[in-house]
Structure 1
Amino acid sequence: MAFTRATGKHRRPSRAARVGANVAGIATLTAAGVVAGVAAPAFAAAPDDAQRHEDTGLTQAVVLSDHVADSLGEQAHMQQGSADQAAARRQAEAEATQQAAQVKKRADEAKRKAEAERAEKERAAREAERKRLNAFVMPIAGSFVSTAYKASSGLWSSGSHTGVDFHAAEGTTVQAVGAGTVVEAGWGGAYGNNIVIQHNDGTYTQYGHLSSISVSVGQTVTPGQQIGLSGSTGNVTGPHLHFEARTAPTYGSDIDPVAYLRAHGVDL
């Protein structure tokens, strides 16, 4: 059975339905870009407060839309701020990383430079030590030859001088002419107290008539190192240093000591 409605005044749609329709309308109008044109007549057409309260669902929708827009705008602003902060943080981290890399690079360069300088100093020191050890000096600093090599005299059993005599007062420091090892240190007959040193090049030097000896057999010596004091022990007429250069540690292997010293860079 069909129901019909009595004629007369029709009932208005419920308020909720009206608001829903208005919201749907404002959404449609917003898409068409005409919200302002529709809303304005609606505001002007309201005759009183009651009517406005009853019939301005569109106005409420507009206010709601504005609130949503404001919320979205605030959210977008916050998101942009967060993005800006993240970008600033990334930039700061990148700058810090770059700065740290530069600091490390400078530190590495300084380290390499210091190591190079240290290596150069060590090399120079080794070179200086090598030169010092290979250098030769006078057996008595500032002295001179008082009796030449191969001088003839009945004072020597061989009839000639097997070395040279360096002028020296009693107790003058006698030094090794070059680096080497002591192979003899003690009494040497006519030589008195004497020392024989084997040098790094295989040659030998001998020091005679000493008043005292300050090294022992097997000891290594360096150029200019004190090995004893000059004197007048053995077959002598007064204090001096008898010095020989030899090809072997024993008597009879002598060579010209002045030429030997000069060949090793000693100026005399």
Structure 2
Amino acid sequence: MRSSRRHPLLVPALLCALALLAARPTSADGEPGDGPGDGAGEGISAQVARLYRDAEVATQRYEAGRRDAEVQRAQAERYEGLLERERREIAALHEDLGRIARAQYRSGGGLPLTAQIILADTPDQLMRGRQVFSQAQLAVNNAIDKSRRAEARLRADQAKARSAWQALERHNTELTVLKQEIDDKLEQARRQLQGQADVSVAAGSCRGAVRLDQPPVDGTRAWVAPVESYELSAGFGSGGARWAHRHTGQDFAVPIGTPVRAVGAGRVVRVSCGGAFGIEVVVQHPGGYYTQYAHLAAVTVDQGERVLAGQWVGQSGTSGNSTGPHLHFEVRVTPEMGSALDPLPWLAERGVQVR
């Protein structure tokens, strides 16, 4: 019989291995998950979150460029309107100049200087006529020069405005292309993320929490909506062929990968990846209430973890009994289904208006 002393590290090594296995995240059914650091799943989740941020930045840049373009368009139209008005004034001035010229001719102002000398009765008459003519001619010439300078200046301003507008159009086109590229990448990443979620649901085992780089939580708000931007779809108590009785929560229509937030501080009491709700998270809040976040594509918390209001608990998806991407949100008095109440008045009582 061999002595155990020949392997002094065997027992401690086995104990460490057992401890590591026991520490792995589990689903609601007690099956082991993949842990928070498991490569591809976390990579796709992080990629989707990053692409959402990139798309938001690109959209903001696009909107800023569009607003600048509208301002520039209005300025160009003002230039064109001013130019048109100046042209009308110049046309009126030319008409006045024609009348002046005709009047001068009738009064002798248009006669050659030799004829004026011959026809003048006195030298004083000749000088007065020439002085009036010179002053009138000088005023006419000045008015013409002024009008021509103004028209040239306005044409130059119009050209500058048109050039600036064309540059903004090119800029907006570039931003649109950039945004479309991000949207295309995001759509591809969404499909991959949902594909992994479907695999987890089919296996009934969660991959484990993915740790995403999320923005700081606003500590001044005790309660928030479960998603930031959304459209409301199926409401509490509504009927539908996909529900046994009545709809037990409020659906928020959002794209796959949208960050889902804990509506209030609490503790994660369930992370499950099988059944009609697909991938779901249930959070217990002070006061005996529970909130459920279902049909997720990924979870960002582990069972037993404490969360703050606004902290991400997952990414939306269309896992489980779902016809399209959305978040199914419930408020319950127990962690189990069948104890749900209308979540919108419940949120409104806590200062969160959902419309």
Specify the structure having the higher radius of gyration (Cα). 1
- Structure with higher RCO (Cα < 8 A, 6+ apart): 2
